[in-house]
């Protein structure tokens, strides 16, 4: 049984096609759901992508530096050369405090710890001397009366405002630093990372200090400091960070007020224990749920503008206006002492600079922040963009979908950038965009696999029915293979073996199958070679058509060329069958065929039922092609073509046969015998034959029987070699019959066929 290509394609569509259609939605949809889950869950992946995006914004748009009363007293290499190696004696630090106080400093902030006694104090120094030396024993009582350096340092602290630092640790501590700031908490106690202990300063120093703050940070997982906490949880007690404490002491404020979600109706991304804002004196600072502020760093070239080398203070080379009312951070940039930190702009920044920039931003009221609706907006954008990619892929195709998605992504990134530059808002357009791109790639991959599957289906289904060139064209453009029916001009061919019943009686089933295959294979090849489509095999009959499923502007010419090639190829088929019969000692039965061609508007597509259908063609012109094939035997010619086929292929050699009403039809149709190609059409002898034959037909239809007989007799010698003897006999018989019984005055010259 012949397998119809369209039926194969349709059955595969019900299985693989439906599967791909659902995969095209389900797989990208699952990816979108996973992307939303990761985003809402604040996974490390999302954080890493966001951080890289926000870092890029900072590098492209750093905060412009503005001269502020915030300076860094830098213990640089030159200061170490002039003053001596670190740590300096506390008396030196006391001297520094006195100088700064005299210059009107508002607050001095030490980004350092003093947990141990000064080893240069008199009591410590004398203990390092030989204790059995009489001179040492004599000096001890006198040295004991000297004030140690830590006390001198503490006295200097008490006369100016100083903030000391402490360091957090995860090991338990027996004592905690003295908390100088009052903490006013509005709302529930915030959920912050909890530390078990801390390393503080000497009690005498802490007592003299005006403030104490944590010197540490909470860098991201990649070690970059993007946000700085203002408060820390140490054994369920809240302590300020160094910058927050510096800002409090500089204002002379006593308390740091902390508002958490749930306090006074405040909310923060739906969290019940998150910090919303921190109020330090007159400054209200927005934070994230963990009390962190996002830093907007200045560019590298501006960093040095806030640094003052310490040695210049000792040498009195700094103008008073540089120090007066200043918030001064003491830190180091010297190699070996440097507290190196990575920021989005500087991979090796001094840690003290981070504290200073926090205070600068507080004074400016300039913060980077994420509005409490940022997460919802990002998730909504992700869902909308993802769904657009999923559902637009099938509707407008991958190329247009990619262009549309690129425009939306570019617009979102531009909006995010403008929000950053004008509002200081941190909106992440990169993660949704990346996820949308992945969703697009997944959908594209499925579309590609679907297309490749369709191409394989088309190649497999049509390769035995069409020329390879047509198969490849369909594979490249499967949309040309329309499902359902469509009407288009087509040329249809029917080919049948003459006397097949007699031939079939001579063979058993296997032998007959062999003969039929030997016949059908080369005939099919001639049709497919000229872009024809094999509709079906019906026993010994071949049905084929042109101009579907792909367009063929030369369908009539290609059909005529195929028919002539089939007649020529039949000689080789018969020669091969004769050789087989002779070798087997059997009688050879020659195969002769009749071919009918007709052109007209037909409906082509899926024909059949829901359970089974074939890619085939229907129409009145299809039936006429079948009738013409049957009439070839009556006229004794090999190929009969219809009038439209003749009109579309005028260069081929053809001769009019008759005006005939085929069985089942009431309208007469002019039919032609296809004799040969363009070479024969140009033969003068053939032209003379056609001219004489047309005169015969004209006289015949005018019922001028004498003239018709005359011209018919003239055509006989001209038609030698073109197998028209039976045609001539047909007209001889008709003319003689009409002489005896004329057809009547209303006769239109048409002959009514009584057989198919």
* DSSP symbols for 243-279: HHHHHHHHHT--EEEEEETTGGG--BTTBSS-EEEEE
716 SS3 class: helix
Rounded-to-integer distance, Cα 717 and Cα 561, Å: 27
Q: 741 Cβ partners below 8 Å, 6+ apart? A: none
For 299-411, list the strands marked E by DSSP: 307-309, 327-332, 340-341, 349-350
Rounded-to-integer distance, Cα 110 and Cα 97, Å: 11
Burial class (CB within 10 angstroms; exposed 0-12, middle 13-18, buried 19+) of 342: middle
- 70-75 vs 227-229, strand pairing mode: unpaired
363 SS3 class: helix
Residues of the chain with pLDDT under 70: 1-25, 39, 42, 123, 135-136, 138, 142-145, 262-273, 303, 338, 394, 450-484, 608-613, 756
CB crowding 59-87: b at 16 or more within 10 Å, else e: eeebbebeebbbbbbbbbeebbeebeeeb
pLDDT at position 505: 83
- Report, at the CATH architecture level, how domain 485-650 is classified: 2-Layer Sandwich (3.30)
pLDDT at position 457: 63
CB crowding 492-523: b at 16 or more within 10 Å, else e: bbbbbbeebeebbeeeeeeebeebbebbbebb
φ, ψ at 119 (rounded to 5°): -70, -10
pLDDT at position 629: 94
Instruction: Give me the torsion for CA of 151, 157, 163, 169, rounded to 10°.
Output: 0
pLDDT at position 1: 41
**Which tens digit of pLDDT belongs to each residue from 640-670?**
999 999 999 999 999 999 999 887 777 899 9
> Using alpha carbons only, what angle is made at residue 723 by residues 722 and 727, rounded to the nearest 5 degrees?
120
pLDDT at position 268: 44
pLDDT at position 14: 45
Quote the mean pLDDT of the chain.
84
Q: 619 Cβ partners below 8 Å, 6+ apart? A: 600, 601, 602, 603
CB 591 within 8 A of CB 497: yes
Of 286, 247, 243, the closest CA to residue 266 belongs to: 286
pLDDT at position 269: 40
**Which tens digit of pLDDT belongs to each residue from 154-213?**
999 999 999 999 999 888 888 889 999 999 988 888 888 899 999 999 999 999 999 999
pLDDT at position 566: 96
List the domain boundaries for the chain: 5-56+372-459, 70-364, 485-650, 677-756
pLDDT at position 271: 41
pLDDT at position 562: 97
Of 484, 378, 317, 298, the closest CA to residue 36 belongs to: 378
Of 353, 348, 318, 370, the closest CA to residue 54 belongs to: 370
Rounded-to-integer distance, Cα 7 and Cα 11, Å: 6
Rounded-to-integer distance, Cα 231 and Cα 213, Å: 9
């Amino acid at each position: 049984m012949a397998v119809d290509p369209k039926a194969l394609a349709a059955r595969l569509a019900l299985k693989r096609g439906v599967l791909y259609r659902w995969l095209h939605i389900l797989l990208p949809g699952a990816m979108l759901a996973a992307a939303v889950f990761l985003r809402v869950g604040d996974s490390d992946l999302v954080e890493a992508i966001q951080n890289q995006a926000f870092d890029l914004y900072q590098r492209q748009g750093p905060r412009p530096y503005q001269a502020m009363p915030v300076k860094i007293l830098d213990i640089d290499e030159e200061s170490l050369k002039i003053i001596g190696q670190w740590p300096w004696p506390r008396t030196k630090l006391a001297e520094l405090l006195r100088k700064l106080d005299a210059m009107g400093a508002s607050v001095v902030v030490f980004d350092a710890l003093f947990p141990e006694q000064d080893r240069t104090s008199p009591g410590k120094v004398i203990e390092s001397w030989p204790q059995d030396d009489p001179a040492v024993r004599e000096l001890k009582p006198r040295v004991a009366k000297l004030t140690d350096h830590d006390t001198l340092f503490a006295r200097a602290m008490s006369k100016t405002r100083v903030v000391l630092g402490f360091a957090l640790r995860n090991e338990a501590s027996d004592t905690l630093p003295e908390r100088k700031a009052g903490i006013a908490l509005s709302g529930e106690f915030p959920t912050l990372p909890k530390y078990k202990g801390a390393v503080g300063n000497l009690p005498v120093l802490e007592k003299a200090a005006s403030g104490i703050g944590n010197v540490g940070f909470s860098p991201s997982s990649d070690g970059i400091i993007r946000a700085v906490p203002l408060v820390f949880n140490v054994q369920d007690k809240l302590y300020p960070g160094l910058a927050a404490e510096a800002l409090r002491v500089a204002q002379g404020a006593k308390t740091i007020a902390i508002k958490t979600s749930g306090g006074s109706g405040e909310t923060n991304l739906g969290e019940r224990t998150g910090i919303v804002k921190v109020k330090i004196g007159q400054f209200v600072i927005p934070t994230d749920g963990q009390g962190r502020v996002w830093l907007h760093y200045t560019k590298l070239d501006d960093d040095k503008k806030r640094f003052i080398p310490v040695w210049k203070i000792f040498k009195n080379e700094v103008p008073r206006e540089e120090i007066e009312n200043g918030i001064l951070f003491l830190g180091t940039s010297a190699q070996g002492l440097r507290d190196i930190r990575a920021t989005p702009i500087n991979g090796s920044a001094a840690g003290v600079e981070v504290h200073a920039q926090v205070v600068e931003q507080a004074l400016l009221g300039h913060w980077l922040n994420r509005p409490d609706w940022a997460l919802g907006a990002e998730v909504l954008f992700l869902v909308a963009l993802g769904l657009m990619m999923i559902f637009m892929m099938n509707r407008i195709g991958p190329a247009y979908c990619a262009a549309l998605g690129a425009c939306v992504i570019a617009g979102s990134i531009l909006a995010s950038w403008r929000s950053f530059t004008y509002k200081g808002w941190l909106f992440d357009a990169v993660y949704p965009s990346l996820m949308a791109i992945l969703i697009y790639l997944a959908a594209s991959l499925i579309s590609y696999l679907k297309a490749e599957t369709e191409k394989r289906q088309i190649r497999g289904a049509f390769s035995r029915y069409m020329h390879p060139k047509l198969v490849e064209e369909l594979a490249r453009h499967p949309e040309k293979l329309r499902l359902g029916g469509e009407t288009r001009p087509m040329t249809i061919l029917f080919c049948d073996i003459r006397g097949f019943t007699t031939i079939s009686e001579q063979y058993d089933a296997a032998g007959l199958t062999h003969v039929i295959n030997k016949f059908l294979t080369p005939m099919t090849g001639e049709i497919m070679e000229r872009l024809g489509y094999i509709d079906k095999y019906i026993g010994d009959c071949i049905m084929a058509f042109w101009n579907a499923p792909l367009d063929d502007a030369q369908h009539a010419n290609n059909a005529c060329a195929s028919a002539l090639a089939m007649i020529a190829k039949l000689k080789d088929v018969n020669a091969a069958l004769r050789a087989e019969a002779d070798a087997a000692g059997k009688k050879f039965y020659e195969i002769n065929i009749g071919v009918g061609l007709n052109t007209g508007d037909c409906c082509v597509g899926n024909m059949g039922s829901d359970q089974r259908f074939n890619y085939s063609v229907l129409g009145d012109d299809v039936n006429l092609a079948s009738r013409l094939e049957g009439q070839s035997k009556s006229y004794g010619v090999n190929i009969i073509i219809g009038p439209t086929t003749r009109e579309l292929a005028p260069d081929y050699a053809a001769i009019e046969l008759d005006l005939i009403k085929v069985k089942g039809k009431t309208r007469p149709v002019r039919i032609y015998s296809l004799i040969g190609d363009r070479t024969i059409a140009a033969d003068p002898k053939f032209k003379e034959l056609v001219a004489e034959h047309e005169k015969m037909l004209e006289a015949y239809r005018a019922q001028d029987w004498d003239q018709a007989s005359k011209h018919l007799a003239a055509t006989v010698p001209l038609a030698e070699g073109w197998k028209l003897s039976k045609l001539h006999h047909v007209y001889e018989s008709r003319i003689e019959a009409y002489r005896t019984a004329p057809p009547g005055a209303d006769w239109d010259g048409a002959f009514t066929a009584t057989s198919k």
